[in-house]
Amino acid sequence: MSYKAPVKDMLFNIRHLANIDEVAKLPGFEEAGFDTAAAVLEECAKFNEGVVAPLNVAGDKNPSSWKDGVVTTTPGFKDAYKQFMEGGWQGIQHPQDFGGQGLPKTIGASCGEMLNSANLSFSLCPLLTDGAIEALLTAGSDELKATYLEKLISGEWTGTMNLTEPQAGSDLSLVRTRAEPQPDGTYKVFGTKIFITYGEHDMAKNIVHLVLARVQGAPEGVKGISLFVVPKFMVGKDGSLGARNDVHCVSIEHKLGIKASPTAVLQFGDHGGAVGYLVGEENRGLEYMFIMMNAARYAVGMQGIAVAERAYQQAAAFAKERIQSRPVDGSINKSAPIVHHPDVRRMLMTMRSLTEGCRAMATVAAAAYDAAHHHPDADVRKQNQAFYEFMVPLVKGYSTEMSVEVTSLGVQVHGGMGFIEETGAAQHYRDSRILPIYEGTTAIQANDLVGRKTARDGGATARAIAAQVEKTEGELAKRNSPAAKAVLKRLSAARKAFSDVVDFIASNTKSSPNAAFAGSVPYLLLAGNLVAGWQLARSLLAAEDLAAKGEDKAFMQAKVITARFYADHILSKAPAARDAIVDGAESVTALPVDAF
């Protein structure tokens, strides 16, 4: 089934939830108002619908292949990537100083969603390049920036993140890759890295690997890790490509999903050592890598929203075509399309409302990122930074867990045909399953939310968010519509449940860590549920106002109904989540380890 970018919904969020006209008042974004957003999104939609989306099924059926160290991508990928590069899409939200377009994340995030919806496997290459760019912008020397950034931002070269090793998955204290200082200031890098997305491919002239390694004599554990740039091909002073560096792909993985994305095993230093260049200072590599990881974690959350949107579109189209049984209300006196059956409608509304709720949450988070980096007032920057950092584990964790549920429902809507590969519903389900795992599992996001984002400040940021939700409740209370009243009831109950859990987490993390962390993932899912529901409540308020003015009544009515469905069927689960976290911690760890 063809993909149609949900531009109207994206622009609604950008205008009415993220307040793009306020973003456009920030220094450097003066030209990035609503009209710019609309023009960019329309152009982005054309490219992704016409060029990238048609390759999605082909990539699943004919994935990347490896032979004698060379990786060949799916037919059509190389040409599509060339068009992606020539269109300037890699540089959309990167600085103009290095050839980017300098647009806000508020706009760039929607472009990222479209690319991911069109083809999740294809999109992973630009996603990892974005992370490499962010790390070099933050910690790279002037020389590294001058050598690599322009080519990365143009898309002429691509970037990777090299963290994981066979013995060091999420625990980076176990990293063994070593870096030996050389007299000329470079380093020789030796080691093996696994799960390296687009670690080798044929779409770009050079691949810039960012690699975690230990310098000889460095402290043990995470405090002794440094970050290095290790290019596939050496780069001359004039920017020209020289000899092949000592880094080689020894195999690629065979995976459940995202099959067209080559996941490489890279060997550094088999022939004397790979030449590496230190990023920033020695032993601060993990700090720099977190810059890449935070950029990538938000982007993976967008992947969840993207694949959910694709699955929803396909399920809705199928439900309107597939004829099975008479409707239970007798409205049609013969077998009819399954979209008339209440349970199919429930599944479609669940898919739709979860996707739209997470999109709204991510868009608002993007606007906070823009304010955190560009607002002239230091206090405003600080507040927005705290809000954005709290949102990252929610966007990553909640949106990706949501995507697995939504794509599974997509298979269910198709019935037996969903289990058959030809329909394409199964691909979305398979592709989505990696999303709650890579760039930090949901549990790792939840540990971050508990430890760094909630306990560290005694719950202050979380309570500030709850206070903002309460303001929205006040606005809902002024409305007389049945939808506003229903959403108010559920939003208020969810906010109170969230506040209870914040108090529990803040008071138990140090004194009873097992109790706090036993509910860490449920806490993340509760927080994501609340914030998505809150943004849909804001959507309802805006849609009711716009409908009253006669603006696109059918679209606005759908926004109101979707917000109410979310409140009735998804936000309503929040009090039960509160009970499980606060009252159920003991039973999580009560069974002795030997009994498992």
- How many Å apart are CA 359 and CA 531, to the nearest integer? 11
Taking CA atoms, 458 is separated from 150, 507, 508, 509, 574, in Å, by: 42, 8, 10, 10, 22
pLDDT tens track for 249-282: 999 999 999 999 999 999 999 999 999 999 999 9
Q: How confident is the model at residue 232 (pLDDT cuts 50, 70, 90)?
A: very high
pLDDT tens track for 432-451: 999 999 999 999 999 999 99
Task: Give me the pLDDT at residue 520, please.
Answer: 98
Task: Give me the pLDDT at residue 290, please.
Answer: 84
Task: Give me the pLDDT at residue 579, please.
Answer: 98
Instruction: Annotate 453-500 with DSSP letters as a single string.
Output: IIITTTTHHHHHHHHHHHHHHHHHHT--SHHHHHHHHHHHHHHHHHHH
pLDDT tens track for 539-591: 999 999 999 999 999 999 999 999 999 999 999 999 999 999 999 999 999 99
Task: Give me the pLDDT at residue 260, please.
Answer: 98
Handedness of CA 462, 466, 472, 476 (dihedral sign): positive
Task: Give me the pLDDT at residue 294, please.
Answer: 85
Classify 248 as helix, strand or coil: strand
- How many Å apart are CA 386 and CA 453, to the nearest integer? 8
Is the pLDDT at 223 greater than 80, yes or no?
Answer: yes
Task: Give me the pLDDT at residue 289, please.
Answer: 86
Q: How confident is the model at residue 179 (pLDDT cuts 50, 70, 90)?
A: very high
- How many Å apart are CA 178 and CA 269, to the nearest integer? 10
Q: How confident is the model at residue 292 (pLDDT cuts 50, 70, 90)?
A: confident
Which helix (H) or strand (E) segment holds residue 318: the answer is helix 285-321
Q: How confident is the model at residue 336 (pLDDT cuts 50, 70, 90)?
A: very high
- How many Å apart are CA 12 and CA 359, to the nearest integer? 11
pLDDT tens track for 184-198: 999 999 999 999 999
CB 338, CB 344: distance < 8 Å: yes
Active site residues: 439
Q: At what angle do helices 425-432 and 378-414 cross, to 10 degrees?
A: 140
- How many Å apart are CA 533 and CA 300, to the nearest integer? 20
Residue type, 225: I
- How many Å apart are CA 114 and CA 48, to the nearest integer? 7
Task: Give me the pLDDT at residue 119, please.
Answer: 98
**What are the helix and strand counts (H, E) for the chain?**
21, 12
Q: How confident is the model at residue 43 (pLDDT cuts 50, 70, 90)?
A: very high
Q: On the CB side of 551, how many CA atoms lie within 13 Å of its CA? A: 10
* Best CA proximity match to 87, nearest among 114, 121, 58, 57: 114
Q: How confident is the model at residue 291 (pLDDT cuts 50, 70, 90)?
A: confident
- How many Å apart are CA 91 and CA 93, to the nearest integer? 6
Percentage of the residues of the chain whose pLDDT score is greater than 90: 97
- How many Å apart are CA 328 and CA 345, to the nearest integer? 13
CB 254, CB 117: distance < 8 Å: no
Is the pLDDT at 1 greater than 80, yes or no?
Answer: no
Q: Judging by DSSP bridges, how do beta strands 206-215 and 187-197 pair with one another?
A: unpaired
| Mean pLDDT (the chain, rounded) | 97
Cβ neighbours for 513, distance < 8 A, ≥ 6 positions apart = none
Percentage of the residues of the chain whose pLDDT score is greater than 70: 100
* Best CA proximity match to 157, nearest among 128, 115, 183, 117: 128
